[in-house]
Structure 1
Amino acid sequence: MEIRKATPGDLPEIVNLLRASLGESLIPKSEALWNWKHVENPFGKSPALVAEEAGSICGVRVFLRWEFRQGERIIKACRAVDTAIHPDYQGKGLFKNLTLSLIEEIKSEGVDLIYNTPNTQSLPGYLKMGWEKWGKLPLKMHFNLSVGKSKSLSQVSNWESIRHLIQALEKTPKETDSVNTNLVAGYIHWRYVKCPLFPYHFISDGETYLLIYRIKEGKIGRELRIVDFFQLAGFDSNGRKQLNSRLKTIEKNESVRFTSYSGLQFGKDNPLEMGLMPVMSIGPEVTLRQAAMREETLDLPWAWSLGDLEVF
């Protein structure tokens, strides 16, 4: 068996392996999704390894490149994402071999850390390979008591109308000590406008703030899930009032049963009016693993948004 770097010519076989190993119940596997995720990413192409035997690919391991920013400091990261082992090769240590080999690969490139949000089945395996639990993200929910028939008035988002705001956000580093996703040029367009999995929408004044959300159908009703929030220095009390007023209008028009946000980006200066329900630590479980970085990653002042950690 040979473990080697994946090449563009491997893509059809990799996609077939992902389908055979993981199915498509949660996220449909396709070459278009792979290219958006692993080739068009503004942080760079994803490092990927494959295991090959007798001319066939039997395993694949991919890390998604990411960058965080703390003031003037750039932290190079990867997110442990796609992995698939052919059923005939499962239980033989191939997943671990591919993962540890890829870690050594990215260390030489100066990647500082790896992060992900593993499910309960995969978590023990990651912990054995050196990942550490940071903990579960806080989750805030607000239930709407009166829900009428959906008018679906917010389903079309004209992202071009806020192009100048997006450019300003990506050119203006946050003046904070917290660790946020580095808003490189093209990030917001790639992450939210071009995402092939589901549509994202926004609330904005076009000048000082941008709240990004998506509508999700669930067992207990329609959810408005807030995934990211960005602001410039001019965002003030009037902007807060406008934001919350527009959010309430969308909740009504979309017949939203509840609104949620999970993450650390709001902190104490939360601009959203989300009722009296307490914040619960039931969001995604975040794990971290040091690569080239020497300092303790768990102690960094993280300010993750759900958009950084959402499964895609």
Structure 2
Amino acid sequence: MPDDYVVRPFLEEDEEEFLDLHANVFGDKPAEWFNWKYSENPYIDHVPILTVEEVQTGRCVGFRPHLALKLRKGSWRGVGLQPCDTIVHPDHRRQGLFTKMTQAAICKYKDEDIGFFFNFPNEQSRPGYLKLGWEVVGEMQTETRIRSPSAWGKASPNRFLELAGTVANPLMRGFLNLVDFQFSFSNTGSTIRKYEKPPAQLLSSISKTGTADKFNLHRTKDFYEWRYSRPDIEYSFYIANRDGESKAALITAEIGSVLMPTTAIVEAVEHQDGSCEDQDWFELMRAVIENSDSKAIQMFAGDIPRHITRRLGFFSSSSFPLSRLQNPPQLVAYPLSTDGNSLNNEKVLELQEWDLSWSAWDVV
């Protein structure tokens, strides 16, 4: 690194400069968001950010933050770090600061009780991660119910898609009206209750918390209380009840741009005893659809059985036409265990070893 800069641990007094630089590069975030994500994160005992300081002025000109999440797989329980919100001041770019901060993070967390780094970088930043040792685990396929193809097209830089979307609008509207009509008179026996605050105890009692054979979030009452207290996003919680018991749940959030507002199904929670049935998923999805005013509804593929989402008008990113129109997020990882490709004999770099919902991604 040039002698003009030094990488060091984050200090409490750096917070104001972090928020100022974040506002300059990405947009304003409140101090409550910083506290939730970093300083009050329950899964790590320090603020997991590295700071680049300009030696001559003492100013903070770059930050390398990480979101700590507790994961599980089989008998293993541990913390994974998700690189996110990386910022370099515009006047100090092209100085290798991203590389040096990342290398410093690897050195720091190899000596601590951290399982791995994992994240979903975009096409611009992915090559930098791969150059530094991250490996592509695989594509996280999505499923999307598109209400407005024209909005989808306007959000794309491809002008042809905007024109095609305008033409497709009435066709899609007719298709979805037909899809919704076939379920409008059904009576499945499941009733749906909607919550505006996380019913953490109820969610944890439903959620599968036993041994699982894939890497996924360790969902407990404390997890639900913390994860969905994020102050800059509003969540909705739908619980399906049948025969006097809660069988499943969906958690949603409104995300996306002004051009393409989207309802994200952040998490699908299935009862741990396996008693959830198709009727429960149908009623939950119908409630989400009826309560959403967004241009699209989207989720990670696999959260809900495909035969259900297909009947409700969701298209898979792995099939035409979405396979031609969007690039699904790619999961990349950097194992920090000494085995390189394993963690307690469990492989980190194979997609079939993971089972993640959108709640494992810091963007929502």
TM-score range, shorter chain: 0.7 to 0.9
Question: Residue 217 of structure 1: CA displacement?
Answer: 6.2
Question: Residue in 2 aligned with 1:48?
Answer: 49
Q: Select the structure of larger CA radius of gyration.
A: 2
Give the AA of the match of 1:121: Q
| C-alpha separation in 2, matches of 1:222 and 1:5 | 37
**Cα offsets for 1:240-281 (capped at 9, x unmatched):** 313312421441343455432114555xx5584432765324
Residues 112, 293 of structure 1: 8 Å contact kept? no
SS at match of 1:159: coil
| C-alpha separation in 2, matches of 1:310 and 1:64 | 7
Question: Residue in 1 aligned with 2:36?
Answer: 36
Q: Would the alpha carbon gap of residues 278 and 100 (structure 1) be closer, same or farther in structure 2, given more than 3 Å must change? A: same
TM-score, normalisation: structure 2: 0.72
SS at match of 1:202: strand
Question: Residue 222 of structure 1: CA displacement?
Answer: 5.5
Question: Residue in 2 aligned with 1:311?
Answer: 363
Describe how 1:189-208 pairs up with structure 2 within 5 A.
Answer: 189-192=225-228, 194-205=229-240, 207-208=246-247
Describe how 1:152-171 pairs up with structure 2 within 5 A.
Answer: 157-159=195-197, 162-169=199-206
When the two chains are superposed, the root-mean-square deviation of aligned CA atoms in Å is: 3.0
**Cα offsets for 1:41-94 (capped at 9, x unmatched):** 222244211122222112211111122101221143100112211222210111
Question: Residue in 1 aligned with 2:17?
Answer: 13
Residues 138, 262 of structure 1: 8 Å contact kept? yes
Give the AA of the match of 1:285: Q
Question: Residue in 2 aligned with 1:128?
Answer: 131
**Cα offsets for 1:196-236 (capped at 9, x unmatched):** 22211121136332211123466776643211112223453
Residues 217, 360 of structure 2: 8 Å contact kept? yes
TM-score, normalisation: structure 1: 0.83
Question: Residue in 1 aligned with 2:184?
Answer: none
Percent identical among aligned pairs is 23
Q: Would the alpha carbon gap of residues 57 and 95 (structure 1) be closer, same or farther in structure 2, given more than 3 Å must change? A: same
SS at match of 2:353: coil
Q: Would the alpha carbon gap of residues 18 and 259 (structure 1) be closer, same or farther in structure 2, given more than 3 Å must change? A: closer
Q: How many residues align?
A: 297
Question: Residue in 2 aligned with 1:298?
Answer: 349
| C-alpha separation in 2, matches of 1:130 and 1:103 | 10
Question: Residue in 1 aligned with 2:333?
Answer: 288
| C-alpha separation in 2, matches of 1:23 and 1:293 | 36
Question: Residue in 2 aligned with 1:252?
Answer: 290
Q: Would the alpha carbon gap of residues 169 and 217 (structure 1) be closer, same or farther in structure 2, given more than 3 Å must change? A: same
SS at match of 1:43: coil
Describe how 1:1-312 pairs up with structure 2 within 5 A.
Answer: 1-20=5-24, 22-24=25-27, 28-44=28-44, 45-52=46-53, 53=55, 54-143=57-146, 145-146=176-177, 157-159=195-197, 162-169=199-206, 173-192=209-228, 194-205=229-240, 207-216=246-255, 223-236=262-275, 239-255=277-293, 257-266=295-304, 272-275=308-311, 279-281=316-318, 282-296=327-341, 297-299=348-350, 301-312=353-364
**Cα offsets for 1:118-163 (capped at 9, x unmatched):** 1111111111111111222111223462399xxxxx9x73436x34
Greater share of helix: 2
| C-alpha separation in 1, matches of 2:104 and 2:260 | 43
